[in-house]
Copies of this chain bind each other. A is one copy, B any other.
């Protein structure tokens, strides 16, 4: 294992100073002549030189590391999002340190600490539910935090989220307009703020239509297909008059549809099902799933853009962005419709 070549080695071979080599590497414009740059590049390749990020970060106090801390890696929505963010950052030359808090605040804080130790330029955070403003304030001075999807109360930081209330309201209103009178709301956990927003939209759509809901039709379940199945099986053991299921997430909706099929009920005709997320599998599901989508690519783009803007102007006041979901009306919520046209 031969020692790695250093800037000094390259400089020696190219017969220039190490400062010049550094300028070539850093691509600092107008600092070095074309001829010299050429010689340096040749030397770099001849020596198989590898840049040392640690030394550079130490000296310049600017790393190329972005921390990405998330609470859940088992939900495809998040993993697709991570993949997209990761790719966009890599394209800009940043490396991502990933951490998963597993909905554990202590673990999240320890990961945030880790990011600081590595001089992370910034941290992208989808926080645990019990995260409060004070938990972030400590880090925010050192590297800016951008939160997404889950808002943190009482803290001034950039936030990119989704207009959950409106999407749930629109979904529910349309189902009611379609004639449904007994609707269920399936999924989410008690501590979830997102769930509260979506559920509020569901309730308000009821109220505005002048119909009442049944609290027994509001069920919690964890974020998995089997949990969705189980919840729906339970629901129909108690009641049989529900005709529409508004699911908290697409994966819960998949599980719900699985349970309905299993019980011999026809999804789309007999019982309407809607999801939330716009997973790519929603369209190819049988029947295809009506869902409220904020394209993951769009969300990722907003997050990365906000990050870059924040790095440019650290002092600007934080901004809050709410992305509007597009509802894809598909067969799962209407017997014979199978298009993405908004109605």
- Near B by CB (< 8 A), chain A positions 69-117 give 73-74, 76, 79-80, 82-83, 86-87, 90, 95-100, 102, 110-111, 113-114, 116-117
A9-17, A187-195, A206-214, A257-265 - the one binding chain B: A257-265
List A residues 127-141 near B (Cβ within 8 Å): 141
Do B95 and A226 touch (CB < 8 A)?
no
A contact residues, range: 35 or more
A338: min CB distance to chain B, Å: 13
Residues of B within 8 A of A102 (CB): 83, 87
* Residues on B with beta carbons closer than 8 Å to the beta carbon of A110: 90
Alpha-carbon separation in the docked complex, A94 to B4 (Å): 23
Measured CB to CB, the closest approach of chain B to A257, in angstroms, equals 8
CB closest chain-B residue, reference A227? B284
Contact with B along A252-278 (1 / 0, CB 8 A): 001101110110000000000000000
Which residues does A use to contact B, with CB under 8 Å?
1-2, 4, 50-55, 57-58, 63, 68, 73-74, 76, 79-80, 82-83, 86-87, 90, 95-100, 102, 110-111, 113-114, 116-119, 141-142, 224-227, 229-230, 233, 254-255, 257-259, 261-262, 280-281, 283-287
